[in-house]
A and B are shown apart, each in its own frame.
Chain A
Amino acid sequence: MLRRLAIRVMVLLVLTSGTVYVGWRWLFSVNWPNWWIALPLVLAETYSLIDAYLFGTTMWRLKERGEAPPPPAGATVDVFITTYNEPVEMVAATAAAARAIAHPHSTWVLDDGDRPEMRAACEELGVGYVTRSQDWADRPRHAKAGNLNNALFRTEGEFLLILDADQVPDPTILDRTLGWFTDPEVALVQTPQYFTNVTGSDPLGSQAPLFYGPIQQGKDGWNAAFFCGSNAVLRREALMQLGIVGYVRQVDDAVREALRTSGRILDRAARRSSRSDLATATAIRAVRAAVRQARSDLDGGAPVSEVTYAFQRELDVVSRSTVDRDVEAIRADLAALAAEHPVEEDEELGLPVIDEEAMARLAQREWSPLGAVASVRALVDSVDVHRHDEAQPMMPLATVSVTEDMATCMRLHGLGWRSVYHHEVLAHGLAPEDLQTMLQQRLRWSQGTLQVMLRENPLVQRGLSLGQRLMYFATMWSYLSGFAAVAYLAAPIVYLCFGVLPVKAYGLEFLSYFLPYVVLNQLLFFVVGYGVKTWRGHQYSLALFPLWIRACWTAAANVWFGKPLGFVVTPKTRPTGHRPFPWRLVWPQLLAMAALVVAVVIGVLRLVLDLSDSFIGTGVNTLWVAYDLLVLSVIIEAARFRAPEEERTVQEESA
């Protein structure tokens, strides 16, 4: 309680001093003649202030839950271990630990790689083995979300524990977490992700103690604890509801879209065919009338299922009347033939009879004459409720993003479900062990988060409370830091090298506004992150600026222009053999560091040669450069980092 009070006081102080500082910047100290650097810098500072507000809001309701109640009696649980290409021994070790979980449950390995040796390992362990059903052939696979969705319909436990292939669970994981589900509105319990193959200094910044700690606890206070894809327990009923709601919405959208576009296409087809062929023109007009009827029924509020059923029946009628007309013509022709030139083959039997059964068959969808018009054929498939373009009609886990977790969680919250952050390490996993793998993983997360922000902006999602909207937005906002970082790196360089001032003066007035804000901000992090190492996270939010920027433009190009993301599954094993210093991965940061060092040298020279007269300006900017260098230095440490070479056992002995 005292901690929460201290945090709240600090938040108020930081936000007050920050607002005063940034207000002073905009109103009195932007050096407009140098707007090309002055404006980016003040925008970057405003970005950071908004970030501080969002962080402050998160911390305001920090929630430390403590122990869960005892698990609900007779709870049934499926444990899902998702894998694609991880080593079989690693998955088997996780599966063996999952089998050993104390609470009654069934263990399933969800193998998207469909590997015989994985199946054999599962049989040997006596755990379930699930691969994609035939329905998924030639349809979108939706990566991990698709893998989980497939398994959801092959199992029946009331709750689902989801584990990545490397996350070895503690035997008590279910007993410790299931109790939160005694609240019938709870859909999700997330536990931290903790990595065992990480040294104390954690040069790759794998542990996320600020996120799996104060940030999740703060989000939890707003009923917005995030689902993070692994080490989480979900309520099947909630996921199924999500699947049904999503299914209904998507069918509704797809039907409306098909009816809307087909109207125009049918108009054109009718015009074209009426000149050459009366029969086709008649059929197309009848279909067009059915489309109009369906649209007006939908607009009038009729249920999609009824509208699509009526539409399909109407098409059947049109089809059947076309067949009837054709058969009538055939009969007339045959009669004319018989009158003039008796049919030789079967004179004693008379004319062949086309019976009702044959006519009905000719009118069915498969053989229908309406299939001749391609636009009608497409329409018949679209204006239906079975989602012929997807492997299964229901996709409980969101497929809108490469990271299924955040989108799924946001939709659960939108439906009114609650989530819980249980702050206790109950699974031990493996983090990437080299820079390249780590960068791929960060890129994927940030791309996924930004995809969700662009496709389903949390600020306007129905069903979310204001606090929840802000909690989702806060995470997305933090991924825009790359642009601010560029301004923070460029401003001191420009000042030290050329004396170009983005601020009217780096004098005592500047310091009197700036220092309280920056000092209080550091104190807030000290109070919030007391006892955990938050420095790595700070470093990476600035030092990975090229990656954050890349994530922004690839996600935007993907969502707006349908460009592929260049998505990769994060490997869980490290590459072997000699690896040289990865210049290719870190050159932008090295270039920035070199420029910063050169800038300080030039800045000092300018002061000595009397080209500059501001000691404070040079001093402030030199300190600023020192801070930038300190932050960026993590990337060199990370690039030089080599994981210890000794053979490491994958399976953890649980403590």
Chain B
Amino acid sequence: MNEYETQVHGGVTVVRAPDRLDMVAAPKLKQLVDRTVQEGDGRVVVDLGGTSFVDSSGLGALIGGLKTARQAGGDLRIAAAGEQVTMVLRLTNLDRILKPHPGVEDAARGW
């Protein structure tokens, strides 16, 4: 349903998440991160700039992606989270694990 856009910037893969990162969209994001980690050097930025809604399945995909990336020696960062996404991350305390970066550039810096 939702096709994901990915771009590579100097070794960092940027994945653009869909408008609704929900139960239907989450498995695809997880698969995409897995594949990216296998193919590249494991550094992934998920761009949430176009995402207005995330549910528990979406959160699961993000944490799952983080685990895959770390286990492959890489990392996963999130950028440009909107109001609802930030609220959900704070509510679940997951913002301590997945620190929201203001933009894709900031997230890719210092790796």
Write the residues of chain A forming the contact surface with B, with a CB cutoff of 8 angstroms.
Answer: 273, 276-277, 279-280, 283, 322-323, 326-327, 329-330, 333-334, 336-337, 340-341, 343, 345-346, 349, 352-355, 357-359, 361-363, 367-373
Further contacts, 19 of them, CB under 8 A, given A326-B60, A330-B94: A279-B23, A279-B27, A322-B56, A326-B55, A326-B57, A333-B60, A333-B63, A337-B97, A340-B70, A341-B71, A345-B99, A352-B92, A352-B94, A352-B97, A354-B93, A358-B93, A362-B88, A362-B92, A372-B25
Identity of the chain A residue whose Cβ is nearest the Cβ of B73 in the assembled complex = A341
- Given the known interface contacts A334-B63, A371-B55, A372-B55, the answer about A358 and B91 at a Cβ–Cβ threshold of 8 Å is yes
A133 to chain B, nearest CB (A): 29
In the assembled complex, the Cα of A337 lies from the Cα of B56 at a distance in Å of 19
Q: Are B57 and A322 in contact (CB under 8 A)?
A: yes
Q: Are A336 and B67 in contact (CB under 8 A)?
A: yes
Q: Are B91 and A372 in contact (CB under 8 A)?
A: no
Q: Are B92 and A358 in contact (CB under 8 A)?
A: yes
Which residues of A sit under 8 angstroms from B96, Cβ to Cβ? 343, 345-346, 349, 352
Chain B positions 80 through 95: 1 when the CB is less than 8 Å from some CB of chain A, otherwise 0: 0000000010011110
The residue from B55, B63, B91, B94 contacting A369, defined by CB atoms under 8 A apart = B55
B residues 49-72 near A (Cβ < 8 Å) are: 53, 55-57, 59-60, 63-64, 66-67, 70-71
In the assembled complex, B101 has its CB within 8 A of some CB on chain A = no
Could you list some 14 contacts between A and B, CB below 8 A?
A277-B24, A280-B23, A333-B63, A333-B66, A337-B97, A343-B97, A346-B96, A358-B92, A358-B93, A362-B55, A362-B91, A367-B53, A368-B55, A369-B57
Which residues of B sit under 8 angstroms from A358, Cβ to Cβ? 91-93
The residue from A273, A327, A349, A353 contacting B56, defined by CB atoms under 8 A apart = A327
- Given the known interface contacts A333-B66, A345-B96, A345-B97, the answer about A371 and B22 at a Cβ–Cβ threshold of 8 Å is yes
B78 to chain A, nearest CB (A): 13
In the assembled complex, the Cα of A327 lies from the Cα of B60 at a distance in Å of 7
The residue from A276, A345, A359, A369 contacting B22, defined by CB atoms under 8 A apart = A369
In the assembled complex, the Cα of A334 lies from the Cα of B94 at a distance in Å of 10
In the assembled complex, the Cα of A377 lies from the Cα of B71 at a distance in Å of 37
* Across the A-B interface, the 7 shortest Cβ-Cβ residue pairs: A372-B22, A326-B56, A372-B23, A352-B93, A369-B23, A333-B67, A372-B24
A637 to chain B, nearest CB (A): 65
Identity of the chain B residue whose Cβ is nearest the Cβ of A333 in the assembled complex = B67
The residue from A276, A330, A343 contacting B59, defined by CB atoms under 8 A apart = A330
In the assembled complex, the Cα of A323 lies from the Cα of B57 at a distance in Å of 7
In the assembled complex, the Cα of A277 lies from the Cα of B96 at a distance in Å of 29
The residue from B64, B66, B91 contacting A329, defined by CB atoms under 8 A apart = B64
Q: Are A337 and B66 in contact (CB under 8 A)?
A: yes
Identity of the chain B residue whose Cβ is nearest the Cβ of A354 in the assembled complex = B92
B101 to chain A, nearest CB (A): 13
The residue from A330, A336, A372 contacting B60, defined by CB atoms under 8 A apart = A330
Which residues of B sit under 8 angstroms from A283, Cβ to Cβ? 23
Which residues of B sit under 8 angstroms from A326, Cβ to Cβ? 55-57, 59-60
Identity of the chain A residue whose Cβ is nearest the Cβ of B25 in the assembled complex = A372
B8 to chain A, nearest CB (A): 24
In the assembled complex, the Cα of A346 lies from the Cα of B59 at a distance in Å of 19
Which residues of B sit under 8 angstroms from A354, Cβ to Cβ? 92-94
In this complex, which of B20, B25, B57 has the most chain A Cβ atoms within 10 angstroms of its Cβ?
B57
In this complex, which of A273, A367, A371, A372 has the most chain B Cβ atoms within 10 angstroms of its Cβ?
A372
Identity of the chain B residue whose Cβ is nearest the Cβ of A337 in the assembled complex = B67
Which residues of A sit under 8 angstroms from B67, Cβ to Cβ? 333-334, 336-337
Q: Are B23 and A370 in contact (CB under 8 A)?
A: yes
Q: Are B24 and A341 in contact (CB under 8 A)?
A: no
Q: Are B91 and A361 in contact (CB under 8 A)?
A: yes
In this complex, which of B60, B66, B91, B93 has the most chain A Cβ atoms within 10 angstroms of its Cβ?
B60
Which residues of B sit under 8 angstroms from A280, Cβ to Cβ? 23-24, 27
Identity of the chain B residue whose Cβ is nearest the Cβ of A278 in the assembled complex = B27
In the assembled complex, the Cα of A368 lies from the Cα of B99 at a distance in Å of 24
Which residues of A sit under 8 angstroms from B60, Cβ to Cβ? 326-327, 329-330, 333
In the assembled complex, the Cα of A367 lies from the Cα of B20 at a distance in Å of 11
A111 to chain B, nearest CB (A): 38
Which residues of B sit under 8 angstroms from A322, Cβ to Cβ? 23, 56-57
Identity of the chain B residue whose Cβ is nearest the Cβ of A320 in the assembled complex = B56
Which residues of A sit under 8 angstroms from B92, Cβ to Cβ? 352, 354, 358, 362
Which residues of B sit under 8 angstroms from A337, Cβ to Cβ? 66-67, 70, 97
Which residues of B sit under 8 angstroms from A333, Cβ to Cβ? 60, 63-64, 66-67
B86 to chain A, nearest CB (A): 13
Which residues of A sit under 8 angstroms from B91, Cβ to Cβ? 357-358, 361-362
Identity of the chain B residue whose Cβ is nearest the Cβ of A330 in the assembled complex = B63
Which residues of B sit under 8 angstroms from A371, Cβ to Cβ? 22, 55
Which residues of A sit under 8 angstroms from B93, Cβ to Cβ? 352-355, 358
Identity of the chain B residue whose Cβ is nearest the Cβ of A273 in the assembled complex = B24
Identity of the chain A residue whose Cβ is nearest the Cβ of B93 in the assembled complex = A352
Which residues of A sit under 8 angstroms from B99, Cβ to Cβ? 345
A229 to chain B, nearest CB (A): 47
In the assembled complex, the Cα of A337 lies from the Cα of B69 at a distance in Å of 10
Which residues of A sit under 8 angstroms from B63, Cβ to Cβ? 329-330, 333-334
In the assembled complex, the Cα of A363 lies from the Cα of B57 at a distance in Å of 11
In the assembled complex, the Cα of A349 lies from the Cα of B97 at a distance in Å of 12
Which residues of B sit under 8 angstroms from A334, Cβ to Cβ? 63, 67, 97
Which residues of A sit under 8 angstroms from B53, Cβ to Cβ? 367
- Given the known interface contacts A280-B23, A337-B70, A372-B25, the answer about A367 and B55 at a Cβ–Cβ threshold of 8 Å is yes
Q: Are B24 and A373 in contact (CB under 8 A)?
A: yes
In the assembled complex, the Cα of A327 lies from the Cα of B73 at a distance in Å of 24
B residues 20-39 near A (Cβ < 8 Å) are: 20, 22-25, 27
In the assembled complex, the Cα of A329 lies from the Cα of B72 at a distance in Å of 19
In the assembled complex, the Cα of A322 lies from the Cα of B88 at a distance in Å of 16
Identity of the chain B residue whose Cβ is nearest the Cβ of A269 in the assembled complex = B24
In the assembled complex, the Cα of A327 lies from the Cα of B94 at a distance in Å of 11
Which residues of B sit under 8 angstroms from A336, Cβ to Cβ? 67, 71
Which residues of B sit under 8 angstroms from A357, Cβ to Cβ? 91
A272 to chain B, nearest CB (A): 10
In this complex, which of B71, B88, B93 has the most chain A Cβ atoms within 10 angstroms of its Cβ?
B93
Which residues of B sit under 8 angstroms from A352, Cβ to Cβ? 92-94, 96-97
A259 to chain B, nearest CB (A): 22
A634 to chain B, nearest CB (A): 64
A512 to chain B, nearest CB (A): 81
In the assembled complex, the Cα of A279 lies from the Cα of B27 at a distance in Å of 9
In the assembled complex, the Cα of A357 lies from the Cα of B56 at a distance in Å of 13
